[in-house]
Structure 1
């Protein structure tokens, strides 16, 4: 995130900054899972009288919200938490300067089921069972869209078992992987946003046992994820509600990032960081005084921004980006809920159109069960 923000600010400052003034970046490191650390970091930034706040994932996101609301400057975060979107919608006077620059995590659960249903019904995947599993780490404000996921499970003719509040340690995720392997579902949603636990889970799950499709969230977007997992990463499915597209804008961003930093950007939060820096700079350029926080927030709210991660329309009551195609059929005002597969070391977008640049392949480690069929399997509805 930091490298992408620096790229955006370098480009903006090279063009004259904002009304001739350069934009400076102030940072604060903290443990995103500890409320006291979040409070200390945000207090440190506020005491430096910054003109905008930004952040990625934070577990105790409510702590950051309250400090930002008290301070009053625009705050652009990417916590993907529907509970925080609701907080903004319920009290726009207090939280009117807070924006979630991505859709919420409630898209992930139903998206997992619908994608696998489509994959099964197309004949591209022949699962050995009608069971799905979802495992979720400790993320107190997260949801993953459980109620909508249950409806999608019933409509698709699946059954679903969930495992909640898996701890942060590698041991906890290894134990959970053994539990999943023993249950032998057709596929498992790994609802965890941290790389160590995700890697521990996958290494244990794929070490032995029946063919199970793991479907991860976000973590495979990090370039070092593939390096750490090695050949086992080939064929992995993963999703994000805000990912960098493979179009001209996305490729150009990646090329400029590599030119400046000598490494490739990830496929999610790097794009968010770049886009939100561009968004807040654009809002500052529309007002006479960048410290007029209400006018700057209004500019963020009323301007549609097309970035490398899609379109940012933040004028809904909760001031969060819209998911395409679930929350809007119009991709010009939404961010695509992207499903990727790692293929031969490359990230390929499988869904949705028009952003896909690849087709599903069975992972090389998947085994003989679930092999691609000769004909599509007919759709099924109802409970099994």
Structure 2
């Protein structure tokens, strides 16, 4: 298991960085006085406005800034500071996506790091001939399929997290494990899935339906389609009441809208149901907007900040940097931005940043343990493995985390090896 900068000189560098307190220079350039060589530029397409993605992108940028600050304060990479070049991006359209990536190519950055885009193909085709490493958190099987089917064209593109299919495949397993542990007893074996109509969520729903059927423990009784933005959850609530399922899966990813759902559900719940909200509560505004209605809600992410010693150290550093006056920390892309910059710094410790071919080979050789899990890209997908469905060893993959809101805080309740707290009966279960 490696830590940031596994090689002799850089390893000393990062250990010094963990205790560094030097302030960062003005964003978006974070070059530090301690690192005086030619800057190494990472291009970040970050959504700064729009109807979706802004919170996650802000989390990612904050994590990247923190990593760059620590590395630069301790001397950079071989004396060269890491510089973040940020451009705005419209992740909702192919044209907006392409425009942002072209700007970064024109700037001749040494790498591109993206939290995610909603339409992966335009981004990937835009950078196809610019062979600087492109690391992204798209969480999409479509991205992996392109890399696997076109290995020469996309050999410099890496997904930092498992694909969305595991949201669907992992949730039935979670339900079975919770029941087997005795922590939860289903009131019935019906599952009601409420799903948004974009390709990402439709893929998750299809995967969940297939896995529930294949595993045979629970039956998908109803699938209700919704469309972003959700103006009123009333019709959905009526549908949920009619079905009366013991398991409710809300397959939506926008925190503000899930908070609105939580309020309506808490006011008139389906008695005894396990309520699972796919991913969206990871965004900081969920707890703020939902308030007490969030209590007892379960949510999951195939990519998130662990609460082990390494993860907790990062959480503490992040809160000290950005939340010293209070607030809620995002628990997904904060770690993603941090880990990505550390990954790149590891690769640049082995190869000159301008030598894209050598850097890409270094990335493929890496075995890196970050705050969000264990990364390796030496496979046809050029993506880390999902724990536990692709690897049974925690230190060989990225763990699928399940959280429950307890006492107004997010607590990891699964997998067992990483849990902070046991599952607790939600208010509508008592």
- Tell whether the structures are fold-level matches, with TM greater than 0.5: yes
Aligned partner of 1:24 in structure 2 is: 83
How big is the shift at 1:344? 0.7
Measure the CA separation in 2 of the matches of 1:306 and 1:200. 36
Partner SS, residue 266 of structure 1: coil
Query: Using a 3 Å threshold, how does the CA distance of structure 1 residues 307 and 170 change in structure 2: closer, same or farther?
Result: same
Measure the CA separation in 1 of the matches of 2:102 and 2:234. 37
Q: Per-residue CA shift, 1:71-93, capped at 9, x if unaligned?
A: 22111111111121111011110
How big is the shift at 1:173? 5.0
How big is the shift at 1:257? 1.3
Q: TM-score by structure 1 length?
A: 0.89
Measure the CA separation in 2 of the matches of 1:105 and 1:132. 19
Aligned partner of 1:208 in structure 2 is: 268
Q: How large is the RMSD of aligned CA atoms in angstroms?
A: 2.0
In the TM superposition, what are the counterparts of 1:139-154 in structure 2 within 5 Å?
A: 139-141=198-200, 143-144=203-204, 146-147=206-207, 149-154=209-214
Q: Per-residue CA shift, 1:39-68, capped at 9, x if unaligned?
A: 221122222111111112321111111112
Larger RCO, structures 1/2 (Cα 8 Å, 6+ apart): 1
In the TM superposition, what are the counterparts of 1:23-62 in structure 2 within 5 Å?
A: 23-62=82-121
Partner SS, residue 331 of structure 2: coil
In the TM superposition, what are the counterparts of 1:134-213 in structure 2 within 5 Å?
A: 134-141=193-200, 143-144=203-204, 146-147=206-207, 149-161=209-221, 163=223, 166-171=226-231, 173-211=233-271, 212-213=273-274
Measure the CA separation in 2 of the matches of 1:39 and 1:284. 26
Aligned partner of 2:169 in structure 1 is: 110
Measure the CA separation in 2 of the matches of 1:98 and 1:174. 42
Tell me, yes or no, if structure 1 residue 261 matches structure 2 residue 322. yes
Measure the CA separation in 2 of the matches of 1:178 and 1:31. 35
Contact (CA 8 Å) 1:105, 1:145: kept in 2 or not? no
Query: Using a 3 Å threshold, how does the CA distance of structure 1 residues 192 and 57 change in structure 2: closer, same or farther?
Result: farther
Q: Per-residue CA shift, 1:92-121, capped at 9, x if unaligned?
A: 100111101011111111211121122234
How big is the shift at 1:350? 1.2
Query: Using a 3 Å threshold, how does the CA distance of structure 1 residues 148 and 134 change in structure 2: closer, same or farther?
Result: closer
Tell me, yes or no, if structure 1 residue 249 matches structure 2 residue 310. yes
Query: Using a 3 Å threshold, how does the CA distance of structure 1 residues 30 and 11 change in structure 2: closer, same or farther?
Result: same
Query: Using a 3 Å threshold, how does the CA distance of structure 1 residues 153 and 206 change in structure 2: closer, same or farther?
Result: farther
Aligned partner of 1:381 in structure 2 is: none
Measure the CA separation in 1 of the matches of 2:208 and 2:276. 18
Partner SS, residue 94 of structure 1: coil
Query: Using a 3 Å threshold, how does the CA distance of structure 1 residues 199 and 265 change in structure 2: closer, same or farther?
Result: closer
Partner SS, residue 287 of structure 2: helix
Tell me, yes or no, if structure 1 residue 294 matches structure 2 residue 353. no
Stretch of structure 1 that moved more, 188-197 or 341-350 = 188-197
Q: In structure 2, which of residues 408, 417, 429 is the aligned counterpart of residue 354 of structure 1?
A: 417
Contact (CA 8 Å) 2:256, 2:289: kept in 1 or not? no
In the TM superposition, what are the counterparts of 1:121-140 in structure 2 within 5 Å?
A: 121-140=180-199
Tell me, yes or no, if structure 1 residue 9 matches structure 2 residue 68. yes
Contact (CA 8 Å) 2:259, 2:287: kept in 1 or not? no
Query: Using a 3 Å threshold, how does the CA distance of structure 1 residues 178 and 66 change in structure 2: closer, same or farther?
Result: farther
How big is the shift at 1:28? 1.8
Tell me, yes or no, if structure 1 residue 307 matches structure 2 residue 376. no
Contact (CA 8 Å) 2:193, 2:205: kept in 1 or not? no
Q: TM-score by structure 2 length?
A: 0.80
How big is the shift at 1:200? 2.8
Measure the CA separation in 1 of the matches of 2:91 and 2:219. 34
Q: Per-residue CA shift, 1:315-361, capped at 9, x if unaligned?
A: 11001111111100121120111111111122221111311121110
Partner SS, residue 182 of structure 1: helix
Stretch of structure 1 that moved more, 50-59 or 77-86 = 50-59
Contact (CA 8 Å) 1:242, 1:268: kept in 2 or not? yes
Q: In structure 2, which of residues 323, 334, 337 is the aligned counterpart of residue 270 of structure 1?
A: 334
How big is the shift at 1:162? 5.2
Measure the CA separation in 2 of the matches of 1:320 and 1:145. 22
Stretch of structure 1 that moved more, 213-222 or 75-84 = 213-222
In structure 2, stretches of 5+ residues that fail to align are 1-59
Aligned partner of 1:343 in structure 2 is: 406
How big is the shift at 1:275? 0.3
